[in-house]
Amino acid sequence: MSVLQALWQVALVLLGGVLVGLVYKGIDRKLAARMQGRIGPPIRQPFLDLGKLLVKETIIPRTAVRWAFSLMPFLAVVASATVLLYLPIGPFAPVLSSYGDLILILYLLAVPAVAMAIGGFAAGSPYAAVGAQREIVMLMSYEFPLALVIVGLAWRLSGLGVGPAFSLATVAGTPLWTQVGPLGLLGLLLLLGTLLVVTPAELSKIPFDIPEAETEIAGGLMAEYSGANLALFYLADALKTVAMAALVVALFVPYGIAAPLGIGGVGGQILDLAFFFVKLFVVIFVAVTTVRVAFARLKVDQIARGFWIPLTAVALAGLLLLVLDKAVVG
């Protein structure tokens, strides 16, 4: 692959990620409003919000650590965008498939949360400092169940001898649903459920929006951000939404629809790409939209206990079932 072709693919993925992320944010807000008996904003509202933020003045508080305060939004966008480059997009292989694996993706997913926390601490605001503390607590809470999901899938794949166990290409190319017995199927369902619960926490959506909590800490992490800096955090959220949904799809439902229908060539690729976007929408609707409509904001201690005890127990049970399945099925 030439450098020019690689740069073109990177630009296409990133531009597509931004567009899809903003469209899905609009659809999410519209559907959530309808489910609550409201009309809701138009689907194009995230584009209007982003444009409005970009033309507003960027204010940096006098009490802020200027370089850290201004650098963190950029770091959050770069990390969220980089995750997309490691994920398969429908029928197309990841742009950076030869240079990373699931462990790297775990680290990259944590970077936006860390960047937001550092930005909050650097703002010099008590509200932002409280939000940053909450962000760190939440990060420490959901990372362990997320890691257990990855380890469980990689461990089961290692017994099949199909390739590097922690390679996302291996995971996406070898769906475990057809490789395990009844115990393994139950274990995979538990791991899938764990990942779906972790998804809104990764995105800081209700009921896991305690780092911002407008009614409690006046926006928390985002209290002092404005203009282009806030727009960058907005973009990072849109990109990370697509990245998390694409990760769920790659790990558990990497199937296409063109091959079973006997459609090949460019038409098959277009059909599989459209099916991929449908799967993204389903994941976002199930894991984000319905959850934030159905639940009120949790307290920080409830989130920490919930992830460290019951959800970790569910993930461990899924891993144990995969171990037992391997002992039975081989």
Burial class of residue 285 in the structure, from the number of CB atoms within 10 Å of its CB (0-12 exposed, 13-18 middle, 19+ buried): middle
Q: Is residue 294 scored above 80 in pLDDT?
A: yes
Residue 13 pLDDT exceeds 90: no
| Residue 177 predicted with pLDDT over 80 | yes
pLDDT, position 263: 80
Per residue in 68-98, pLDDT tens?
A: 888 999 999 999 999 888 888 877 777 776 6
Q: Does the pLDDT value for residue 1 go beyond 70?
A: no
Instruction: Enter the pTM of the model.
Output: 0.90
Select the more confidently predicted residue: 248 or 225. Answer: 248
Q: Counting beta carbons within 10 angstroms of the beta carbon of residue 296, is it exposed (0 to 12), middle (13 to 18) or buried (19 or more)?
A: exposed
What's the rounded Cα separation, in Å, for the pair 60 and 293?
Answer: 34
Residue 89 bridge partners (DSSP): 92
Whether the CB-CB separation of 100 and 171 falls below 8 Å is answered with no
pLDDT band at 154 (very low <50, low <70, confident <90, very high): confident
Q: With 70 as the cut, is the pLDDT of residue 99 above it?
A: no
Give the chain's domain count.
1
Structural domain span for residue 250? 3-329
